[in-house]
């Protein structure tokens, strides 16, 4: 038994018909334009902030990179003067004031089955590519050196014992 | 409306809107414009006026001329209340420019107890056909013949399924008044539509 009011089906028809209706599209367009006018400063502020952040991040990144590169060059001028030397020479001071220069990688030196040491004197000018300071006054000098050779006679490292 | 904004609560969208998020404002508009427009259309009978009411209601929300407080209720009833007040103001403005004879007729039913006034306030829009479905159009015309304060209650209850309490808040009356207006409004509609129901062909003639 239908307990609905006789006008309920008519309201159903009206609801169904009205559901098809929306506000004209122009209303939304007008409102969004009004919104853009209402919040222009806030939008521009966010955009400016984002741009400033990007600029700040980029500037800091560039500065950090530059400082790092300059620091490395200051600590090891040889890297700047001779990029190839970076791969073939490791340089350190030993406890007796001598200068140890690895001409091969530490792994290669450690794996050498029969290394041998010879004492010799080398001209200072020949050491210039390894980063040894060279001036007109000391260009003709010789430096006492201990050469570490591999079994095939290949120089593995050199230790300069009489150099400032 | 994208997937994120379609499920975002009104309060969150409002907060984002007030922080300048245009997509939040657009999402709020798309969520509420339909019911608001349909309420205004049934209430005043003119699609152009209904569109103006929707635009002004959302403009007020945007400019905070109509300040919504999420702690005091839902946004939808708030917007219905705003729309109703805007329509009342339009009707008031029209009453001021109405002919003296029409004003006298309005004064004659100032007690507000008659759900069927001699002449509706919006005496142009309701008479123009708005709906294709004949039954729906008949109900819409019958609604337009109700006195505005009955029309409000019937539309909000029957078309938008709001509770008595929400309608009472929107119309600024107590719940008992909502009940009585709904009852009297429905009775007036049933009386007006009775002939159409038993003999639709005769009603259309």
Shared domain check, A89 and A67: no
With a cut of 80, say whether residue B135 has pLDDT above it.
yes
Task: Specify whether the CB–CB gap between B171 and B153 falls below 8 A.
Answer: yes
Query: Touching check for B29 and chain A: CB below 8 Å?
Result: yes
Tens digit of each residue's pLDDT (9 = 90 or more) over A61-115: 778 877 776 776 666 555 555 555 444 556 677 667 778 888 888 888 888 888 8
CATH classification (class only), B1-97: mainly alpha
With a cut of 90, say whether residue A134 has pLDDT above it.
no
Q: Tell me the three-class secondary structure of B129-154, residue by residue.
A: CCCCCHHHHHHHHHHHHCCHHHHHHH
| Confidence band for A3, pLDDT divided at 50, 70 and 90 | low
Residue (of B195, B46, B27) closest to B127 by Cα position: B46
Task: Specify whether the CB–CB gap between A100 and A159 falls below 8 A.
Answer: yes
Q: What is the pLDDT of residue B184?
A: 95
Shared domain check, A95 and A61: no
Which chain A residue shows the shortest CA-CA distance from B185?
A: A7
Question: Given an 8 Å threshold on Cβ–Cβ distance, is A13 in contact with B136?
Answer: yes
Query: d(Cα B113, Cα B110) in Å, to the nearest integer?
Result: 8
Task: Specify whether the CB–CB gap between A109 and A156 falls below 8 A.
Answer: yes
Query: d(Cα B170, Cα B79) in Å, to the nearest integer?
Result: 9
Q: What is the DSSP letter of B109?
A: T
Query: d(Cα B59, Cα B54) in Å, to the nearest integer?
Result: 8
With a cut of 70, say whether residue B140 has pLDDT above it.
yes
Q: Residue range B20-32: average pLDDT? A: 94
Shared domain check, A42 and A111: no
Query: d(Cα B153, Cα B189) in Å, to the nearest integer?
Result: 13
Rounded to 5°, the CA angle B34-B71-B25 comes to 40
Q: Residue range A147-151: average pLDDT? A: 85
Which chain B residue shows the shortest CA-CA distance from A42?
A: B20
Helix and strand numbers, DSSP H then E, in chain B: 11, 0
Rounded to 5°, the CA angle B167-B60-B78 comes to 15
Which chain B residue shows the shortest CA-CA distance from A40?
A: B20
Shared domain check, A156 and A91: yes
Number of CB pairs, chain A paired with chain B, less than 8 A apart: 99
Domain around A63: 10-72
Q: What is the pLDDT of residue A114?
A: 83
Shared domain check, A38 and A17: yes
Shared domain check, A141 and A100: yes
With a cut of 90, say whether residue A140 has pLDDT above it.
no
Query: Touching check for B62 and chain A: CB below 8 Å?
Result: yes
Q: What is the pLDDT of residue B85?
A: 95
Domain limits of chain B? 1-97
- Which residues, 6+ apart, have CB-to-CB distance to A160 below 8 Å? A98, A99, A101, A127, A132, A143, A144, A145
Tens digit of each residue's pLDDT (9 = 90 or more) over A13-30: 899 999 999 999 999 999
Q: What mean pLDDT is reported for chain B? A: 81
Q: Residue range B175-200: average pLDDT? A: 84
Shared domain check, A87 and A156: yes
The larger pLDDT score, comparing residue B148 to residue A51, is at B148
Q: What is the pLDDT of residue B150?
A: 95
Residue A3 belongs to a domain: no
Whether complex ipTM tops 0.85: no
Q: What is the pLDDT of residue B117?
A: 54
Residue (of B131, B196, B192, B185) closest to B157 by Cα position: B185
Residue A136 belongs to a domain: yes
Shared domain check, A143 and A103: yes
Residue A4 belongs to a domain: no
- The residue among B62, B65, B160 with the most chain A CBs within 10 A of its CB, best to mutate, is B62
Shared domain check, A92 and A68: no
| Chain B contact set for A11 (CB, 8 A) | 139, 158-159
Query: Per the structure, how many domains does chain A have?
Result: 2
Q: What is the pLDDT of residue A25?
A: 92
From A17's Cα to the closest Cα of chain B, the distance in A is: 7
Question: Given an 8 Å threshold on Cβ–Cβ distance, is A10 in contact with B138?
Answer: yes
SS3 B89: helix
Tens digit of each residue's pLDDT (9 = 90 or more) over B66-119: 988 888 889 999 999 999 999 999 988 887 765 444 444 434 344 455 665 544
The larger pLDDT score, comparing residue A4 to residue A27, is at A27
Question: Given an 8 Å threshold on Cβ–Cβ distance, is A7 in contact with B189?
Answer: yes
- DSSP string across chain A: ---S-TTHHHHHHHHHHHTT----HHHHHHHHHHHHHHSHHHHHHHHHHHHHHHHHHHHHHHHHHHHHHHHHHHH-HHHHH-TTHHHH-EEEE-TTS-EEEESS-HHHHHH-SS-EEEEEEEEHHHHGGGT----TTTTT-EEEEEEEE-TTS-EEEEEESS--
Last residue of a domain, one of A53, A72, A91: A72
Shared domain check, A142 and A99: yes
Task: Specify whether the CB–CB gap between A146 and A121 falls below 8 A.
Answer: no
Q: Would you state the structure tokens that stand for residue B205, as one six-digit string?
A: 């003639």
Q: What is the pLDDT of residue A34?
A: 93
The larger pLDDT score, comparing residue A160 to residue B129, is at A160
Chain A residues with CB within 8 Å of chain B CB? 5-7, 9-11, 13-19, 21-24, 26-28, 30-32, 34-36, 38-39, 42-43, 46
Residue (of B193, B121, B115) closest to B154 by Cα position: B115
Query: d(Cα B94, Cα B90) in Å, to the nearest integer?
Result: 6
Q: What is the pLDDT of residue A27?
A: 95
Shared domain check, A85 and A67: no
């Amino acid at each position: 038994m239908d307990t609905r009011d006789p006008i309920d089906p008519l309201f159903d028809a009206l609801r169904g018909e009205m559901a098809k209706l929306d506000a004209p599209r122009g209303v939304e367009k007008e409102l969004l334009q009004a919104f853009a006018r209402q919040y222009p400063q806030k939008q521009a502020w966010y955009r400016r902030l984002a741009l400033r952040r990007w600029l700040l991040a980029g500037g800091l990144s560039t500065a950090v990179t530059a400082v790092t590169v300059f620091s490395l060059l200051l600590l090891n001028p040889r890297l700047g003067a001779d990029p190839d030397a970076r791969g073939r020479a490791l340089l350190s001071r030993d406890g007796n004031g001598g200068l140890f220069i690895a001409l091969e990688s530490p792994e290669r030196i450690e794996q050498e089955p029969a290394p041998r040491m010879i004492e010799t004197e080398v001209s200072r000018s020949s050491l210039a590519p390894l980063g040894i300071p060279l001036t007109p006054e000391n260009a003709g000098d010789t430096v006492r050196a201990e050469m570490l050779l591999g079994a095939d006679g290949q120089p593995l490292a050199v230790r300069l014992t009489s150099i400032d | 409306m994208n997937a994120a904004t379609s499920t975002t609560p009104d309060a969150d969208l409002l907060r984002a809107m007030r922080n300048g998020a245009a997509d939040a404002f657009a999402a709020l508009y798309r969520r509420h414009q339909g019911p608001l427009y349909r309420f205004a259309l049934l209430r005043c009978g003119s699609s152009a006026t209904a569109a103006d009411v929707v635009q002004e209601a959302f403009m007020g929300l945007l400019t905070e001329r109509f300040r919504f407080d999420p702690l005091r209720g839902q946004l939808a009833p708030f917007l219905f209340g705003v729309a109703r007040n805007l329509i009342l103001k339009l009707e008031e403005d029209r009453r001021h420019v109405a002919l003296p004879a029409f004003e006298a007729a309005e004064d004659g039913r100032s007690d507000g107890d008659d759900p069927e006034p001699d002449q509706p306030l919006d005496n142009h829009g309701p008479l123009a056909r708005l709906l294709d479905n004949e039954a729906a159009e008949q109900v819409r015309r019958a609604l337009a013949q109700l006195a505005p304060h009955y029309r409000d209650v019937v539309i909000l209850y029957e078309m938008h399924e709001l509770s008595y309490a929400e309608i009472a808040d929107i119309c600024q009356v107590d719940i008992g008044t909502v009940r009585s207006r709904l009852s009297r409004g429905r009775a007036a509609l049933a009386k007006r539509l009775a002939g159409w129901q038993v003999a639709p062909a005769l009603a259309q003639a």
